[in-house]
Amino acid sequence: MIQDFLFQAFAASAILGAVIMVTRRNPVSAVIFLVGVFFATSGMFLMLDAHFIAAINVILYGGAIMVLFLFVLMLLNLGHADWRDLRGPVGGLIGGSISIAFLGVLTRLFVGGTDSRPVVEIAGSALREAAAEQGVVGVVARPLFTEYTIVLEVTGVLLLVSIVGTILLARRERT
């Protein structure tokens, strides 16, 4: 019961955080509220029995990536809102309608769209049992290192490439 309450509180704060983040004119406060959103979603992950994901969401997103954003903001000295970066009414209309359309479509998809598709049901309890048996990391790690080894390796290469690319892009031209 308390879990459900916690879960719904996390959900509410995630939405609230997201709204605030989008509406902040100051990028730094936007970053801060985004981090908040990430923490809230991590909480939801926990409640949904995805403990490992919850952990790396905090570490990777909330920690690493957002810090990177902050670094960039500081580096470029953009940490203050001195220009209007919100679009006019036309842009608002377009963006708003697209967004509402997305909301509608996604809702429809989540609620009614799965009818015809066969579903292998694994109750939350089954996931929980597996976690108890193999440990919360093991549940994710086992398939990762058996079935999805190649994908994992490719992801590693991707990261390497992105590192190289980042360095190339961000490096100052030596004249």
Q: Minimum distance between the CB of residue 76 and other proteins, rounded to whole angstroms?
A: 5
Q: Least distance from C-beta 135 to other proteins, angstroms?
A: 13
Q: What's the closest the beta carbon of residue 10 comes to other proteins, in angstroms?
A: 9
- Our CB check for other proteins shows the closer of 76 and 174 to be 76
Q: Is 26 exposed, middle or buried (0-12, 13-18, 19+ CB in 10 A)?
A: middle
- Decide whether 98 or 132 has the Cβ nearer to other proteins: 98
Residue with tokens 């990430």: 38
Closer residue to other proteins, CB minimum distance, 132 or 161: 161
Q: DSSP assignment of 51-85, as one string?
A: HHHHHHIIIIIIIIIHHHHHHHHHHTT--S--S--
